[in-house]
Amino acid sequence: MAYQIEYPVVRRPVYASRGMVITGQPMAAQAGLSVLQAGGNAVDAALATAAALTVVEPTANGIGGDLFALVWAGGQLHGLNASGAAPAALTLDALQQRHGGEMPRHGWTPVTVPGGVRGWADLHRAHGRLDFAQVLAPAIGYARDGFPLSPAASAGWARTIQSFRGLKLDIMEEWFRTFAPDGFAPAPGALWRSEGHARTLEAIAESYGESFYSGDLAAQIDAHARATGGLLRAEDLAAHQSEWVTPISAEYGGHRVHEIPPNGQGIAALIALNILEGQRLPDRRDDPDGLHLQIEAMKRGFHDAHQYVADMRHSRVDVEHLLSAANTQAHRARLSDTAHDPATAPPSSGGTVYLATADNEGNMVSLIQSNYMGFGSGVVVPGTGIGLHNRGHNFNLEPGHPNVLAPGKRPYHTIIPGFLTRNDGTPVGPFGVMGGFMQPQGHLQVVLNTVRYGMNPQQALDAPRWQWLSGLGVEVEAGLGAGLARELAHRGHRVSVQLEPSAFGRGQIIWRNPETGVLEGGTESRTDGHIAAW
């Protein structure tokens, strides 16, 4: 990896030999490290971190959300799709009757079955080592004893309060009782406790997650839905199962980039990488011709994703064709020196948390979980700390579309964990860039920074990013420079400089040296990224 710094960096890579946990919240990372030091493996550490994140960063994820994971264990890569489906009563006709055929962002209607808790249990059952209750203990302690809120979480909390107040939805009264009992967001450094959240995590630990899907917690969710006009029922929860899947991949520069297959959008990044594998990118990362090619390739990836990505149990998604040489060549033939204005555009972005873990036995985890739009739907089950996500907002409402809303169907999903291997199958490590529809764009840029431009993990994350918005619109970070923005504009892009760093996602990386086993980590300077190493 390179060590000449081309762009300003906040820190250098961190190295460890016994274990590493990286995420966007220091206390959550420490929870994972404590489990490693207690004899757990990378999966135990990932689950401890994930559970802790539902407590310490509720502005982006929660117990009522979904989860995807890629796990390197036993010499192979395993994929877990722990996303949930639409309730049996959520049909296009029901949507028409309730909302005139428009899917709202908040309230009960966009709530799909939360799959994250089942995902925790399934990951632990397949690959964990310590007792499940021991793995969740740090999160329970944070919820019961309290923790000081970070500035980033406090700011997100305040924005949500302002937004939810403006909606004036009766169903959100419980959200305000739970998350804003004093009427305002907790200040940075203020201690926040949630006894209800702690009790819920204890019930999950004691029942191996079954309470959430067929026990007391499921009954409470069902009762609240029936009392307040929700469509989610105990039967929907009981029917939910995670799905172990074979990861999909694309080759770039002697490496393979692995993603979860649809209903996840990771295939968009793979399509873009396939297109670029056949192009000679300039030697300098900030060359305008190279950035133009990257942006155009990403548009093509999104074009296919928004046309075809759906729940493969309900719709035929020809992944083999989408990643084929024929489809790739067809996209390459449409590239030009001028920006293309596509008909499709990424929908609204949301809030997510990503984490990466590794141990000294070679196990590694790339895990991502989310409530979708920040706190999610705004629906909270009384006394439980469970805020339900609004993932159903990602369904298409056009009859005949592969991603059209249907009961028991999972929607198009934004959250995508990534994993990098060499072409010979040697694992390099987990990576991810959370942030709604920035995620495949972040994956593309991190992979190019690493493989094409030889950056170490910290450089690869700190390098200035771009983001395609829609049409000809592209946002760039100020670090790319005014001259580069002008050059992109000359190629037809409508370029704006975005000063809010969170718009460009938040990433984490762990690379493992196959000869020594030494771990090299980079974390996100655009948020409270933290590396806990041992």
Active site residues: 352
Instruction: Classify strands 494-497 and 473-476 as parallel, antiparallel or unpaired.
Output: parallel
Tell me how far apart the alpha carbons of residues 113 and 89 are, in angstroms, rounded to a whole number: 12
Q: Which residue has the tokens 């949500």?
A: 160
Q: Which residue has the tokens 């670029």?
A: 276
Helix ranges restricted to H, 278-430:
288-308, 319-322, 325-334
Collapse the DSSP code of 19 into the 3-class scheme (helix H, G, I; strand E, B; otherwise coil) and give the result. strand
Q: Which residue has the tokens 């938040």?
A: 506
Q: Please give the helix or strand (H or E) that residue 212 lies within, else none.
A: helix 210-214
SS (H, E, C) 225-275: HHHHCCCCCHHHHHHCCCEEECCEEEEECCEEEEECCCCECHHHHHHHHHH
Residue 73 CA neighbour count, 13 Å, CB half: 20
DSSP state of 59: T
What are the φ/ψ torsions at residue 374 (nearest 5 degrees)?
A: 65, -115
Q: Which of 166, 169, 137 is nearest to 52 (CA)?
A: 137
Q: Which of 482, 105, 484, 106 is nearest to 286 (CA)?
A: 484
Tell me how far apart the alpha carbons of residues 531 and 519 are, in angstroms, rounded to a whole number: 11
* Residue 223, C-beta contacts closer than 8 angstroms, at least 6 positions apart: none
Q: Which of 200, 502, 196 is nearest to 352 (CA)?
A: 502
Task: Measure the CA angle with vertex 161, ends 160 and 163; round to 5°.
Answer: 60
What are the φ/ψ torsions at residue 23 (nearest 5 degrees)?
A: -160, -175
- Cβ-in-10-Å burial (0-12, 13-18, 19+) of 182 comes to exposed
**Cβ neighbour number for residue 462 with a 10 Å cutoff:** 25
**Residue 491 near residue 288 (C-beta atoms within 8 A):** yes
**Residue 379 near residue 39 (C-beta atoms within 8 A):** no
What are the φ/ψ torsions at residue 377 (nearest 5 degrees)?
A: -75, -20
Residue type, 481: G
Q: Which of 385, 368, 382, 375 is nearest to 202 (CA)?
A: 385
Tell me how far apart the alpha carbons of residues 101 and 93 are, in angstroms, rounded to a whole number: 8
